[in-house]
Amino acid sequence: MRGLGSVVVGSGAGRHLHALAGAYALDALDGAERTRFERHLRRCQACEAEVRGFAATAAALAMATAVEPPPGLKARVLAAAEVTRQAPPAVAVRRRAAPAIRRSPWVPRLALAVGAGGIAAAVALGVIQASTQHRLDSALAYSKEIASVLAAPDARITAARTSVGGTTIAVVSHDQRQLVFTSTGLPPLPSSQVYQLWLLGPGTARSAGLLPPASGGKTPPVLASGVRVDDKVGVTVEPAGGTSSPTTTPIVVMTLPV
Amino acid sequence: MGPIRSAAEPAASGDADLDKLLTMVARGDRDAFETVYDRLAGPVYGLIRKVLRDPSQSEEVAQEVLLEVWRTASRFDPGRGSAATWALTIAHRRAIDRVRSETAAATREQRSASAPVEVDEVAESVEATMEAERVRRCLDGLSELQRESITLAYYGGYSYPQVAALLDTALGTIKTRIRDGLARLRDCLGVSW
């Protein structure tokens, strides 16, 4: 399909909607209009083909903006991928109803993707390391809370490199005032020391617990509650057992995405 | 797998490659993901940077997008477009989501006054690679209103009613200029889809 002449358009509302194909492909439609157009798109093959061509055209505009990405980005992305479970392929029968690209943030889908069985999620995240039934039960309750943060509609992810190496990752839900913290590649500590997690507000530091020992280089996810919007998350090295306030310079301080 | 290409290299020749790499990523192939990163991080970051301007916000969003590529690689359907288009569509949408979020609203307001300048800046920075040169030539082939509407919407992150207000032009006119301009760009670039 080339040019506009060959496009088969309906009459009335359909024609009006069809004219939005360009604006839609550039993400220049707002809320209600976008929803209406997407509904129209599912029924209009000519529109779908046109949008596909426009999307490829927009991608060419994007390629033209390429610049050298910041130096730390690659290491953080690869480290975050290392601890991020991938979504399963969509095997829905109604394929057309499930567009390949959706607008919602990925984190909620992380939890949705691992599905109804929280156990699969917990195992994938390395939460369950207990062997006795009792510890398994509490680990499961804990993993449910973690899954709930990951499933929160407002969940956002951030990651940072620490000053001693390794990457820390936090998924925060401000609605739930909770965050899930994990890390990869932190150097192991002698038994006399621990990594301690902090919620750093303006002029205050609240302990969010000690990081459990890493397994396979990854810290099992830690849940922190009572998160405030202006909190940052920091990690310090402290004497075994932890302290009530930080005694060393944080190896990392992360600003939480809003 | 061949040698890793620079991110600025035009995608056209390697489209099929990238599609194949992404299906490998969907199966958890970390090496393939690293190559995909090398190919896409430049345009992903560049595009987000173009829209958001702020480097640290852009880096944050680029990171989310690239992780999203890893996470949802299995949802990529080669029948619906190339891998680069798929990833860059995600990148643009995430940048736009950020622009339209409440926190960004205030700074956007301040910026809108200087929007016409941004058009020139965009055109100025479209350079360096062959792909960029091609895009620039094709953009030059549009009418001024088509070009301004498209660059304000895509690079500027404005909705088409905002574009209409900025260019002091009727909504319906902007709507058709964007569509006609994109059709011309598409044909000029020889985009396959």
- One-letter amino acid for residue B33 of the chain: F
> Domains in chain A, ordered, with CATH?
13-63 (1.10.10), 75-87+100-255 (no CATH)
Given a contact cutoff of 8 angstroms between Cβ atoms, the answer to whether A14 and B154 are in contact is no
Q: Which chain A residues touch B96 with a CB distance below 8 Å?
A: 27
> pLDDT per position in chain B (193 positions), as tens?
334 433 333 444 467 799 999 999 999 999 999 999 999 999 999 999 999 999 999 999 999 999 999 999 999 998 889 999 999 999 999 999 999 885 455 554 555 444 443 443 443 344 446 778 889 999 999 999 999 999 999 999 999 999 999 999 999 999 999 999 999 999 999 987 6
Please say if the pLDDT value at position A105 is more than 80: no
Q: Which chain A residues touch B170 with a CB distance below 8 Å?
A: none
Residue of A nearest to B125 (CA): A65
Instruction: Note the pLDDT tens digit of each residue in A203-215.
Output: 888 999 889 888 7
CA distance A116 to chain B (A): 18
Q: What CA–CA distance (Å, rounded) separates B46 from B161?
A: 25
Closest of A73, A249, A242 to residue A160, by C-alpha:
A73
Query: What does the block give as tokens for A150?
Result: 């990951």
Contact between A63 and B10 using a beta-carbon 8 Å cutoff:
yes
Q: What CA–CA distance (Å, rounded) separates A69 from B84?
A: 16
Write down the mean pLDDT value for chain A.
77
Q: Find residues 3-62 of chain B whose CB sits inside 8 Å of chain A.
A: 7-8, 10-11, 26, 28, 30, 33-34, 37, 41-47, 49-50, 55, 59-60, 62
Quote ipTM for the complex.
0.83
CA distance B19 to chain A (A): 14
Given a contact cutoff of 8 angstroms between Cβ atoms, the answer to whether A189 and A238 are in contact is no
> Domains in chain B, ordered, with CATH?
1-111 (1.10.1740.10), 113-193 (1.10.10.10)
Pick among A7, A51, A57 to test the B interface (most B CBs inside 10 A):
A57
* Residue A221 pLDDT class (50, 70, 90 cuts): confident
Contact between B182 and A2 using a beta-carbon 8 Å cutoff:
no
